[in-house]
Chains A and B, each alone.
Chain A
């Protein structure tokens, strides 16, 4: 796995980190904060996936980011420096700045979620919720087992239908009918087969007592240190945010950006996945 060291940490640490990153990103439109979170999320995603896949996923985000950004700058009359006005549309410098910030924020959120998808694989997710939601997390695992089955069975039902009766009716409605027939086969057969799965579960004592879970993750000193560091950074940043470092006024006029130490702690917190990589340079 070329996913970096952070992905090997305990799921709780990873989860807390992503929650922190995403919540902070949501909470502030301060241009420096937005820029920092964008850079950090982007850098981490490049680190996880490589440049090409990063650019590809960036391409998928752009329409949504643009939509939200434009929406925020076009329909905002709160700004003082008006550039252009037509009916309800009023474009102001402040509005555009705000739109840029919100767009950046959304981009950062989407980037963080992409990182999350790489790091928090399904087994980590089910592990985290395995204790509180034993049935649901088992079900997620079972569903993940059934999806590829459904897909391959779907393909083979589709093929066999096309081979048998496809030749008679190549119209759109014929194809739709066969699609529905395929859905019926998949459901009927799936339900029938699932009863055997249920039997197999019973045979192995499902429901006999409270489930425990085969934990593949352990707490090591390293995990505790990183968790402690994350919590400290989290508290410091919350304090800074609440006391005003993170607040920023777009309206009526964009306020000035002043250099602050707070930005550094924010960058440190979001750069945690890179910080743990420093371990490689030990000795």
Chain B
């Protein structure tokens, strides 16, 4: 019996003969039944590495070194062996689904490996039961939510009983609740079925608590860390590189206190979950008060919001797509203000996207009205930013509307520069990374010089760095150029850092609107992890920056 589920020996890879190495002498081995998180900045060759485990998906190029899956070179396996030994779940839940019904999707892999009908029925039934999808077994795949789709993709792989399960950012397109569900199931797959798991994931918040091993790839494809979670966290806390922003809120908070010298037990592991974070902060604050005698004052609650200056207002909106369908908006009152960033949060299907398209004027409400008194130019960015591009080169796409938008080539160059996309100007728009695509889409819309920007999920599925950049650009647009911005987002931390006001949508209505800071302080559950950690101990903290500030303000600096 082979000792390891997966062994990688001195593996290097480059695209073609001339290319630079994407992976450089990577060596590691995974125990059977382990749960490993593979981290790294974008462009560190993570996906390339994972794809190398599965010849069907491997990237074309030059490689050296060895890969063993359960002791065998994957290229020597028979096609059926190869299909079943390693399971692969990819990013986009939509694109992975092959067939039109749930039952057919579950059976698809088994049909491919020529399994007989009886065994197939049994396997499919077992798997459907394990994943709790018996209830939607006969549904059409189109009618599933994003989270259900991704669970189905996972089930459709697990039904083939792989020894190793490889996942490439499986939750990047899901909302936080669906992502949480996905991880819960994934943990069960690991602990109850004993399947070895290796996963690339940006949401360290979700993956670190369940991973028992972490690998970290540096730019250039060098494996710089291979060990347990706490060592990894300490490594990232120690260096000030960009990836630190991806750490869980509890860890960032602890790192913050650590730098302030408030870490009581230097040897205890860093907290990664909200619960661990709450214990940590309570002890730290207690210690600071009693032993060091420093006084910790609450942060002021609320944030200054730019003055009211209504750009578009909606009153008593009722909307439904067809007369047969239920209302998607029920009596919504909403104002969008110039010079402000407003955020709209809420679950899937709460009507956020519909409200955006109603405000843009393309959907006529059945009742109520939308007023745009100053005849402002409204622009809507749909959820999939790729839909904005039709040309072969980014720069051609930017020039597409130069006649109707009355802008010049110089303007295009300027905006490419401003958004840090100058290097990409001759690239195909579809070849950009997720963050670049979002930025490019925003830039293309800005060329039309709209006064009101309605952005549907502008930070969906992008990494922490790109998120930060987009946040800065939006702030600049609102504060310095006086644009009215309304965005929807599932990332509450992004909202708390970027938006001036925040509104919650629930049940097709806007239930409350408040300044973004106060909103998250007042919310008990629907709030940022930091707020949930700090509640009761450090009042008025919503972001890690708040925590840092509340210590800096009162003698925290003495400890440095």
Q: Does B107 contact A (CB under 8 A)?
A: yes
Contact (Cβ within 8 A) A203 B56 = yes
With contacts defined as CB atoms under 8 Å apart, how many contacts are there between chain A and chain B in the complex? 167
Which B12-68 residues have C-beta < 8 A from chain A?
54, 56-57
A160 and B57 in contact, given A145-B100, A168-B404, A210-B114 (Cβ under 8 angstroms): no
Which A132-186 residues have C-beta < 8 A from chain B?
138, 141-142, 144-145, 148-149, 153, 156-157, 159-160, 162-169, 181, 184-185
Q: Which stretch in A109-117, A189-197, A229-237 binds the other chain? A: A189-197
Kindly state the separation between the CA atoms of A206 and B386 in the bound complex, as whole angstroms: 28
Contact (Cβ within 8 A) B390 A188 = yes
User: Using an 8 Å CB-CB cutoff, how does the interface string of A25-40 with B read, 1 for contact, 0 for none?
Assistant: 0000000000000000
User: Chain A residues near B362 (CB, 8 Å)?
Assistant: 159, 162-163, 166
A145 and B141 in contact, given A200-B90, A204-B156, A215-B117 (Cβ under 8 angstroms): yes
Could you say which interface size class chain A belongs to?
35 or more
Kindly state the separation between the CA atoms of A167 and B454 in the bound complex, as whole angstroms: 16
Could you say which interface size class chain B belongs to?
35 or more
Q: Does B318 contact A (CB under 8 A)?
A: no
A209 and B113 in contact, given A160-B382, A185-B387, A203-B157 (Cβ under 8 angstroms): yes
Contact pick for B109, options A169, A205, A209, CB 8 Å: A205
A156 and B382 in contact, given A165-B448, A203-B56, A211-B112 (Cβ under 8 angstroms): yes
Least CB distance from A73 to B in Å reads 42
Least CB distance from B98 to A in Å reads 6
Least CB distance from B123 to A in Å reads 10
Q: Describe A's contact surface by its main secondary structure.
A: helix
Q: Does A255 contact B (CB under 8 A)?
A: no
Contact pick for B160, options A159, A193, A205, CB 8 Å: A205
User: Using an 8 Å CB-CB cutoff, how does the interface string of B421-453 with A read, 1 for contact, 0 for none?
Assistant: 000000000100000000000000100100000
User: Chain B residues near A169 (CB, 8 Å)?
Assistant: 404
Kindly state the separation between the CA atoms of A163 and B312 in the bound complex, as whole angstroms: 15
Q: Does B104 contact A (CB under 8 A)?
A: yes
Contact pick for B121, options A153, A193, A214, CB 8 Å: A214
Q: Does B336 contact A (CB under 8 A)?
A: no
A163 and B103 in contact, given A204-B156, A209-B79 (Cβ under 8 angstroms): no
Which chain B residue lies CB-closest to A140? B100
Contact (Cβ within 8 A) A122 B111 = no
Kindly state the separation between the CA atoms of A146 and B235 in the bound complex, as whole angstroms: 45
User: Chain A residues near B97 (CB, 8 Å)?
Assistant: 145, 197, 200
Contact (Cβ within 8 A) A214 B101 = no
Kindly state the separation between the CA atoms of A181 and B103 in the bound complex, as whole angstroms: 36
Contact (Cβ within 8 A) A167 B377 = yes
Kindly state the separation between the CA atoms of A128 and B40 in the bound complex, as whole angstroms: 49
Contact (Cβ within 8 A) A208 B112 = yes
Counting from the closest, the 9 A-B pairs by CB-CB distance are A205-B83, A214-B107, A204-B109, A208-B79, A163-B380, A196-B95, A202-B56, A205-B112, A145-B100
6 A-B contact pairs sorted by A residue (CB < 8 Å)? A122-B100, A189-B430, A192-B430, A196-B96, A203-B157, A212-B116
- A165-B401, A197-B97 given; name 5 further pairs at CB < 8 Å: A141-B99, A163-B361, A207-B79, A213-B111, A214-B121
